[in-house]
Amino acid sequence: MDEISLNLDEKVIMQIGNSKYIPKNTEYFRLKTYPQIQEICKNARVIVAHGGTGSVITALKEDTPIITVPRIKEYGEVIDDQQIDFVKAMEDKTLVFPIYDLDNLENILTQNKFGNEVIKNDDKLVNSVINYIITLNE
């Protein structure tokens, strides 16, 4: 994302958590409170995040398109491939824009296809997604 930001004509903010990598080209932070994350999300054109339920739900609540890059067991990022299953289920409902190959990330960001065509969500939709997630975990 840090490298891709050089080719984008917009501000990029990265949450790096406890990563040892320090971005050279973008604004970044390690951790913020949930209300601070909501505010950042609300003001974003698009969010790029892992395929976790919390990130997706936050984006949906704020009506912000989300590109998901699921973490993968094969690479030792997670203990199972639940993020892939979750992202595929959300993709089927056209609620996320999944990226399974990072080489495609810059392309989807520069296509600028996020805007009016993105589903605007209401609390009923978000609650339906939350309930759907619960059924996936049963």
Q: So what's the pLDDT on residue 116? A: 39
The model carries a pTM of 0.78
Closest CA to 48 of 33, 64, 32: 64
Does the pLDDT value for residue 128 go beyond 70?
Answer: no
Q: So what's the pLDDT on residue 133? A: 62
Does the pLDDT value for residue 40 go beyond 60?
Answer: yes
Helix (H/G/I), strand (E/B), else coil: 54 = helix
The CA–CA distances, whole Å, from 89 to 2, 108, 132, 138 equal 28, 20, 9, 15
Domain ranges within the chain, ordered by starting residue: 32-136
Query: What tokens does 99 get?
Result: 């990226």
The CA–CA distances, whole Å, from 134 to 10, 53, 86, 127, 128 equal 36, 10, 11, 11, 10
